[in-house]
Structure 1
Amino acid sequence: MRSRCVPYDRSFDSEASLKQHKRTSLVHAFNCTPCNRRFDSEEALQQHLRDPRIQDTETPLDIFFRSFPAFNYDPSLSPATSYTNLQRQEGWRRNIAASDDTWNRYQDAL
């Protein structure tokens, strides 16, 4: 019986071959952003994330950017790039109270 990997559009001769493919293929990996580790399943990643040491790795900048729920924060980008993206998304301009307040919060997080 052939097993199929949909994201790669590949077939495998056995379920064991498909499982091996999933263990070694990046498209099937579950990544932990704070520590840059890779896990083979969502369950393994969630178990890892419950570790209090992982939960403490959020920086003040992470907390700042995540305080905007509609903002798609990517910790791999520089803080300046993330702030520019946030500013563009929110339509902030200089000398506007909301923009100035957010700039000050951003500076404090740095």
Structure 2
Amino acid sequence: ETGCVYRAMVDRAFAEAGLGGPKLAAEVGSIDAIAGLVAAGAGFGIVPRLAVATAIDRGEVAELAWPGPVRSADLVMIWRRRRVQPPALKALLASAGAGFAPVRPADARPRHAVSFPS
């Protein structure tokens, strides 16, 4: 869909190749729907490999390497702030904080936001 990081990657790749925009068969926000459309022969989709690994293993869809420079997308983790955090969330946040740099917040962002570079 418009606004999706993967859609932006496709649009940019087509523009950089001088192809204009891709011809869209459909715009969907569900990875399962994208995989189903691809399996039915409607075109191609860009989704996280993990989300379609089973479909790849079953031969329902084919995996192709991204042509050209590797692209990346920022991942943002959000959680409901509470005075007392559940132990699992507390452990996850501690682990994430040890391995990733926190976002330096603008005034509009909560001070506990963490950005995960991909």
TM-score range, shorter chain: under 0.3
Query: TM-score, normalised on structure 1?
Result: 0.21
> Which protein is richer in helix relative to its size?
1
Higher relative contact order (CA 8 A, sep 6+): 2
> Which protein is richer in strand relative to its size?
1
**Quick check: which has more Rg, 1 or 2?**
1
Query: TM-score, normalised on structure 2?
Result: 0.20
